[in-house]
Structure formats: C-alpha cells, structure tokens
Structure 1
C-alpha cells in the first residue's frame, strides 16, 4: 500500500487531505506540532487506525520508516 506524509495534518486543510488520501488507499502519517491544528480533526481516522499522528515540529527534522 502506498504511504503519504502530510505536514500540518491536524489542521483544516491537512485533515481534509488525510481523508482524501485514505479514500484513495494510502497509509497516512500526519505530522503536526498542534500549535494551530487539532487532534480532534483526525479523531475518527486515528480511532480506525487509518492515520498515524506524529506530534512533532517538522523544522526539527523528521524520520518516517517505510
């Protein structure tokens, strides 16, 4: 299965992008520092295990396996 990384994934636009990617069959890793984004924007996807949320500032670097 293809994998996508979405920076700002818990924000308004990022969470919609995560949903669109899941519908298209992607495993999604959402990266967000939650300064302006909200975990609640992804609650349903996180509960179902369709999205993994990494709480991190991408300016500090990021390593994603796979």
Structure 2
C-alpha cells in the first residue's frame, strides 16, 4: 500500500509514518518544515520505503499515486 502523509515530520505525523513503515507500507511524507522537525524523522529517513518531499501542502498532489492520504499538515498551536 502507498500512503501519503502531509505534515509527516510533525509529532503525530512522524509517529504515523513510523507505524506505517512497520506495517510494510510505502510512505511518502510531505512537509515544509514550518513546524515539523527533521529530528522527528531521522530514525527512519533512510528506510527504503520512505520518501521525504519538502514542499508546501498547498501545492498540487496530483503527481503522487497513492492508496491512502493522511492529512496532518497544520501549524502547531501557540497555546
């Protein structure tokens, strides 16, 4: 299964990416790192079924053929 995770370098998104990889999914992580952190994905960034795409989620996603999308991209709450 091919899965796209927006906000994949955030706290929740990175944990989801890690879990999906553990479930044998191919994961495409999209993040612009406005609030996500590279340190959140360092433990699996070189995994053969993991792809990091650094871009704004507002850009088109038409180029990615996936079976499922998890949309977690959102600025972190200031509170």
The equivalent residue for 1:35 is 34
Name the Cα RMSD after superposition.
1.4
TM-score by length of 2: 0.74
- In the alignment, the residues of structure 1 paired with residue 40 and residue 49 of structure 2 have an alpha-carbon distance, to the nearest angstrom, of 13
- In the alignment, the residues of structure 1 paired with residue 56 and residue 44 of structure 2 have an alpha-carbon distance, to the nearest angstrom, of 21
The equivalent residue for 2:71 is none
* Deviation at residue 22 of structure 1 after TM alignment: 0.7
More helix, by proportion: 1
Structure 1 segments (4+ residues) deviating >2 Å:
47-50
TM-score by length of 1: 0.86
- Give the secondary-structure state (helix, strand or coil) at the position aligned to 1:44: coil
- In the alignment, the residues of structure 1 paired with residue 59 and residue 39 of structure 2 have an alpha-carbon distance, to the nearest angstrom, of 24
Size of the alignment, in residue pairs? 65
Where in structure 2 are there 5+ consecutive unaligned residues?
A: 67-79
Q: Kindly name which structure, 1 or 2, has the bigger radius of gyration based on alpha carbons.
A: 2
* Deviation at residue 24 of structure 1 after TM alignment: 0.8
Segment drifting more, 30-39 vs 42-51: 42-51
- In the alignment, the residues of structure 1 paired with residue 52 and residue 37 of structure 2 have an alpha-carbon distance, to the nearest angstrom, of 11
